[in-house]
C-alpha cells in the first residue's frame, strides 16, 4: 500500500507503532463512491453559507434506521448540561450502575436475554463526531453498540453541547461530566477508555488531558477514529489528501476555524478557548489507538497526533487503512474493513486491562 506522508521527526523506537492495513473491498469502494456523490456535495454547499440556520439537529433524527446491535441494552442518562446514553451489547459486562447490591444482573435486553455481570469496572466514554455542529446519539448508536460488543464493556455516549450556540469548551465540560458520572457509578477513571470519531476524536484527547489536569484521574486509554486534532487547516490543505478525500471538500476545512472563533465570541462568555490536542503537553496522557484512512482529509491530523504523543513518551498505535473513508468504522456490518477496525478497537481495549 502506498501512503502519502509528511516528513516525520525521529521517534523513540520503543513508543512508535504504525500499522498499515492494505486492501480495499468492493463494498468499501461502493461506500466511497456513494459518499463522494451525496455527503460531499452537501458539505460543499454548506461551506458557502455556513452561518445560515441549517437544520443540523435534523441529521441526527434522520439516522433512526441506524439501530444498535440486536439485544443491546440502553438507558438514558441525564448529565448536568446535556443528555447521554448508556449502552451495553450482548455479551458485554453489565454497567456497575445496573448491578444489584448482591452482584446479580437484573436487566434484560431487547431480545429477552440477560446481560452478564462484569465487575472489573472497565467502561468506555464515547464522544461523537460531526464537526462540533451536528450528529449525535441516534446517528452513533449502531457504532457505539458495536464498540460495546467488541470491547465487552458498557459505553456511555455523551450528547454534548455543540456549535454554533456553544463553544468547544462546553463540549469538553460535558465530556468531563460523563467521565465523572462513570466514576460515581462504579467505573474508576483508570478503568475508563475515552473514544470518539472525527471531532469526537478531538474531544477524546481534550477530555483525557483535562481529566488528568483536574485530578479526576488518568483514563486507561484513548481511541480516536479519523480524528481532527489540529484546528489550523494549513497542514490538511497542504497535504495531497485535500484533493483525494471522499467526504470533505477543501473549502469546508478552511471554514471550520472561523466557525470555532465565532462560537467562542457568541457563546463563550467565561469559557477559555480549547487548544488543539497536538499543541497540548501530552506527557501524562494514556496509551492511544488512532485509526485513519490513507486518503482522508484528517489523515495528516492522525499522523501528527501520533507523532506528538510518541515524542512525549506516550505509547501510541497509528493504524492506516488503505483508501477507507472518513470514520469508516461506522459502516461495520456492511464494509468488511470497518468490522476489522472495530475488532482492533476491542483488541486494544482488552490489552489495557
Task: Give the residue numbers marked as catalytic.
Answer: 198, 296, 326
Q: H-type helices in the chain, by residue range?
A: 26-37, 39-48, 56-61, 141-151, 168-184, 199-213, 234-237, 250-267, 299-311, 336-352
Whole-number Å distance between alpha carbons of 305 and 300: 9
- Work out whether the CA dihedral 97, 102, 103, 105 comes out positive or negative: negative
Q: Which residues contact 290 (CB under 8 A, 6 or more apart)?
A: 201, 223, 224, 227, 302, 305, 306, 316, 317, 318, 319
Rounding to the nearest 10 degrees, give the CA dihedral for residues 209, 215, 221, 226: -20
**Residue 280 grid cell:** 497540548
Q: Which of 298, 123, 104, 303 is nearest to 195 (CA)?
A: 123
Strand order in the sheet with 221-225: 16-21, 316-321, 288-293, 221-225, 192-197, 123-127, 155-158, 83-88, 73-78
Angle at alpha carbon of residue 238, lines to 236 and 241, rounded to 5°? 60
**Residue 320 grid cell:** 492506516
Q: 3-state DSSP call for residue 168?
A: helix
CB 226 within 8 A of CB 327: yes
User: Residue length, the chain?
Assistant: 353
Q: Which residues contact 287 (CB under 8 A, 6 or more apart)?
A: 221, 222, 314, 315, 316, 317, 352
Q: 3-state DSSP call for residue 113?
A: coil
Amino acid at each position: 500500500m502506498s501512503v502519502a506522508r509528511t516528513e516525520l521527526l525521529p521517534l523513540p523506537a520503543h513508543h512508535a507503532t504504525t500499522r498499515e492495513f492494505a486492501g480495499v473491498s468492493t463494498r468499501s469502494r461502493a461506500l466511497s463512491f456513494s459518499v463522494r456523490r451525496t455527503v460531499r456535495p452537501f458539505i460543499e454547499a454548506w461551506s458557502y453559507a455556513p452561518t445560515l440556520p441549517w437544520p443540523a439537529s435534523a441529521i441526527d433524527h434522520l439516522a433512526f434506521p441506524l439501530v444498535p446491535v440486536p439485544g443491546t441494552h440502553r438507558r438514558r442518562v441525564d448529565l448536568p448540561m446535556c443528555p447521554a446514553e448508556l449502552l451495553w451489547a450482548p455479551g458485554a459486562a453489565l454497567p456497575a450502575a445496573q448491578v444489584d447490591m448482591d452482584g446479580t444482573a437484573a436487566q434484560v435486553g431487547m431480545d429477552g436475554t440477560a446481560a452478564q455481570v462484569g465487575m472489573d469496572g472497565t467502561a468506555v466514554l464515547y464522544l461523537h463526531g460531526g464537526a462540533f455542529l451536528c450528529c449525535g446519539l441516534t446517528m452513533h448508536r449502531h457504532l457505539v453498540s458495536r464498540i460495546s460488543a467488541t470491547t465487552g464493556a458498557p459505553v456511555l455516549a455523551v450528547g454534548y453541547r455543540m456549535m454554533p450556540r456553544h463553544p468547544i469548551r462546553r463540549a469538553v465540560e460535558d465530556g468531563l461530566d460523563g467521565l465523572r458520572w462513570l466514576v460515581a457509578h462504579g467505573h474508576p477513571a483508570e478503568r475508563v477508555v475515552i473514544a470518539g470519531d472525527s471531532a469526537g476524536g478531538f474531544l477524546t484527547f481534550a477530555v483525557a488531558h483535562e481529566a488528568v489536569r483536574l485530578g479526576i484521574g488518568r483514563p486507561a486509554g484513548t481511541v480516536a477514529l479519523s480524528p481532527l486534532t489540529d484546528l489550523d487547516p494549513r497542514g490538511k490543505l497542504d497535504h495531497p489528501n485535500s484533493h483525494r478525500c471522499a467526504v470533505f471538500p477543501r473549502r469546508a476545512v478552511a471554514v471550520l476555524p472561523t466557525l470555532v472563533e465565532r462560537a467562542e465570541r457568541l457563546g463563550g462568555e467565561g469559557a477559555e478557548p480549547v487548544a488543539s490536542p497536538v499543541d497540548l503537553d501530552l506527557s501524562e496522557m494514556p496509551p492511544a489507538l488512532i485509526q485513519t484512512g490513507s486518503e482522508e482529509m484528517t489523515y495528516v491530523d492522525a499522523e501528527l497526533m501520533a507523532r506528538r504523543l510518541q515524542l512525549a513518551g506516550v505509547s501510541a498505535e497509528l493504524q492506516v487503512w488503505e483508501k477507507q473513508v472518513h470514520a469508516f468504522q461506522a459502516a461495520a456490518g456492511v464494509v468488511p474493513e470497518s468490522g476489522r477496525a472495530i475488532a482492533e478497537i476491542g483488541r486494544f481495549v482488552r490489552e489495557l486491562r
